[in-house]
A and B are shown apart, each in its own frame.
Chain A
Amino acid sequence: MKATFRGGVHPAHGSKRPTQALATRDFVSDTVQIVMNMNIGAPSKPCVKKGDHVKVGQVIGEPVGFLGLPVHASVSGEVVAVDAIPYLTGDMVQSVTIKNDFQDEWEELHPLGNVEKVDPAQIIPAIKAAGICGMGGASFPTHVKLTIAPGKKCEYVLANGAECETHITCDDRLMQENATRVVDGLRAVMRALNVSQGIIGIEDNKPAAIAAMQKACQGRHGVRVQVMKTKYPQGGEKQLIKVLTGREVPSGGLPIDCGCVVVNVGTCAAIADAIIDGKPVIDRICTVTGAVRSPANLRLRIGTITEDIIGECGGYSTDPGKIFFGGAMTGMCLPNDQLPMAKSTNGIVVFTKEEAVSAEESPCIRCSKCVDACPIGLNPYDMKIFADAEKWDVCKKKHVMDCMLCGACAFICPARRWLTPSFKIAKQKIAEQAKKEAAAK
């Protein structure tokens, strides 16, 4: 039976079709610019300087702090700049620019071999050393996620292959082209955590990926594919857990609080690469679509500049009005096409000038479509009133902190109200307030 959750919307509308059937191809540009804040946590510290020669896979950024991850060179060549640039959020971020010498000279790798035979204790350190963070877009350091707090027990490892976002098809292609690696990565996580059940959740609009994954699961211990109904946000961590296990993450808690760990299929493949080949994250599949001449799924070296990527796809098909990393429901806008992609960039979507125009906000007609769409069961109509009035404490009482900013309410709103952005601000304000209070004590 196809499982699903309550609420949700259907925004994809065939937006995936342009790239769904396109096999992944490699693209290596002559310059990469690798930013140091690719994962949640403190930015890494550059450990190379201008003029240095680096090899592929060489550490160029050292981890800082508990959530820190190393950053690796994605091409071989000469470091031409180490400087700060404004990145997606507008904050200044250290970056390392490398001019590719196209020798593809690799740093010596240390493979651990077969995921079924490797010592489980070696798995998590290897994941950290490979610089792996959530490849589905969240970019949370994977080794931290897999370090289970004392007293907690993991019973399920869930591989997230839902790919519910619009436009993006990179996970679909990955599962079709590299199914065994996904299962290997899932098995590695299951062995590291000593868990016997692994479920790969895939939406039913990806029959080829489902078939490939089912085949790859044959003969593997404790893993299976669960087909889910196509509905946004099916790939939200909370919805995925509910659908695959029937459990719910407690409010304010983490998946592990209900015995689950969720790992994106892209992350699974990266983990498999790290264990089997000893390969750090130096590339990823990225869907490039929208107003480009030939949309594509590209395997890009981390740090490839957006302009080069668009060029590889035949250039803009018309004047671009908006470019964002990720799908249309949660994607982050770029101020220009000079920014490089990062480890969690699963897609680059270009909108035309017409598509980019934001509809004007009109009065709410209380149609309650937002309430029906909320996958958490919140009342966006109610929260918006108090967010607009800047009554943050009331917003908190109305559970705005449980909002996962999926955008379903804003998508469905016939009055075109900016629901999700208001909740984003409310959540930030409440978090700031809590920090202040904590500091005062």
Chain B
Amino acid sequence: MSLILSSAPHVRSKANTQRLMLNVIIALLPSLAAGIYYFGWRAALVVGVSVASAVAAEFIWQKLSRQKVRVYDLSAVVTGLLLGLIVPPSAPWWMMIIGSFFAIMVVKQLFGGIGDNFLNPALAARALLLASWPALMTSGYNIGKFADATSSATPLLAGASYMDLLLGNVTGAIGETCKIAILLGFIWLLVTRTIRFEIPAAILGTAALLGWALGYDPLTTVLSGGLLFGAVFMATDYVTTPMRWEARALYAVGVGIIVVLIRKFGSYPEGVTYAILLMNIAGPLFDRIPMHRIYGYTKAKKEGK
């Protein structure tokens, strides 16, 4: 009889890395479907190129650097999918390849691969594309169902009804417009316990409150632009968020504040990307603030360095 000897625990939860990534992919499908419905086949092409090049970038890097190929963990698929959903539907294919390669090779792999990137790869790639090809990144919404609409770079449409905002009957990035689809994905992520509700809730709550204080309609603030998509899918990225729930809350409040401040005072019409990227950088610092109580200590003890 040969028995395995190992240290406890002898059971592991069913959710492994691959399963969690698959949950995110499933959660993004409604948004993808809505994007294709509103913007047509062009949107599918953009997302397809983005996903394929992200996976290719990961595979090539891991082969070249002689690492174990971990493409099967699906994290590159998630990155590609996220990037594809936050660009305009008529983004050129070569731009998506550049974006995906930058996200995977520079932002993710150069810093150590999965778990070690300090920025959200998809958002960092979007920031790169926005800085490099601002015209291409802020136009090209007028295809599919919007072929006749006048171009509007700002997703903060004055006059759009709540219903239009919810259904996605407004122009914007492929996956960001249809809020119903995003909410469906959000529910899936919560039900499967892939993410916790604190971060999206705190971001949206803060943005609504601050928006209201600065004279915006709170509901429009939440439903317009990429805020909902960012709060649900981008700000909840495991790697770039703090680990303690107290720090996560601070991080989320920070995102909410910066989003509204950029919308109100910034020269960009929309600030979700930069708000999250900025807070990605601040996140690890929040984890160092000793505000977590450990069992058996009377006061919150410093966690040491």
Beta-carbon contact of A415 and B17 below 8 Å: yes
Give B92-131 as 1s and 0s: 1 = Cβ < 8 Å from A's Cβ atoms.
0000000000000000000001111000000000000000
Residues of A within 8 A of B196 (CB): 372
If A251-B296, A356-B4 touch, does A329 touch B11 (CB 8 Å cutoff)? yes
A394 and B305 CA atoms in complex are apart in Å by: 8
Asked if A413 is an interface residue, CB under 8 A from chain B, the answer is: yes
Beta-carbon contact of B11 and A328 below 8 Å: yes
Beta-carbon contact of A363 and B113 below 8 Å: yes
State how many angstroms separate the Cβ of B290 from the closest Cβ of chain A.
Answer: 11
- Chain B residue at minimum C-beta to C-beta distance from A410: B9
State how many angstroms separate the Cβ of B250 from the closest Cβ of chain A.
Answer: 14
A414: which of B19, B242, B245, B295 is its contact (CB, 8 Å)? Answer: B19
Residues of B within 8 A of A372 (CB): 196, 245
A365: which of B5, B12, B238, B305 is its contact (CB, 8 Å)? Answer: B238
A329: which of B5, B6, B8, B241 is its contact (CB, 8 Å)? Answer: B8
If A331-B8, A359-B12, A376-B295 touch, does A368 touch B241 (CB 8 Å cutoff)? yes
Asked if A364 is an interface residue, CB under 8 A from chain B, the answer is: yes
Give A353-367 as 1s and 0s: 1 = Cβ < 8 Å from B's Cβ atoms.
000111100111111
Asked if B7 is an interface residue, CB under 8 A from chain A, the answer is: yes
Asked if A222 is an interface residue, CB under 8 A from chain B, the answer is: no
B114: which of A11, A332, A365, A402 is its contact (CB, 8 Å)? Answer: A365
If A333-B4, A364-B115 touch, does A379 touch B10 (CB 8 Å cutoff)? no
Beta-carbon contact of B238 and A322 below 8 Å: no
Asked if B292 is an interface residue, CB under 8 A from chain A, the answer is: yes
Beta-carbon contact of B1 and A320 below 8 Å: yes
Asked if A128 is an interface residue, CB under 8 A from chain B, the answer is: no
Asked if B294 is an interface residue, CB under 8 A from chain A, the answer is: yes
Say what secondary structure dominates the interface of chain B. Answer: loop
Q: A151-171: which have CB < 8 Å to B? A: 166
B296: which of A238, A336, A381, A413 is its contact (CB, 8 Å)? Answer: A238
Asked if A387 is an interface residue, CB under 8 A from chain B, the answer is: no
A59 and B18 CA atoms in complex are apart in Å by: 56
Asked if A49 is an interface residue, CB under 8 A from chain B, the answer is: no
State how many angstroms separate the Cβ of B241 from the closest Cβ of chain A.
Answer: 7
Interface size class on chain A is 35 or more
State how many angstroms separate the Cβ of B303 from the closest Cβ of chain A.
Answer: 6
Residues of A within 8 A of B10 (CB): 322, 324, 328-329, 331, 333, 349, 351
Interface-facing stretch out of A31-39, A177-185, A293-301, A417-425: A417-425
Asked if A250 is an interface residue, CB under 8 A from chain B, the answer is: yes
A-B contact pairs, 18 of them (CB 8 A): A251-B295, A251-B297, A320-B3, A322-B10, A323-B3, A324-B8, A334-B3, A335-B3, A366-B239, A371-B243, A381-B243, A382-B243, A410-B9, A412-B13, A414-B13, A415-B115, A416-B16, A418-B7
> Apart from A326-B8, A405-B8, what are 5 other A-B pairs with CB-CB below 8 Å?
A250-B298, A252-B296, A365-B75, A399-B304, A414-B19
The chain B residues found within 8 Å of chain A, CB to CB, are 1, 3-13, 15-17, 19-20, 70, 73, 75, 113-116, 196, 238-239, 241-245, 248, 292-298, 301, 303-305
Report, nearest first, the 8 A-B pairs whose CB atoms are least far apart: A407-B9, A397-B304, A251-B296, A421-B7, A368-B243, A367-B238, A328-B11, A328-B10
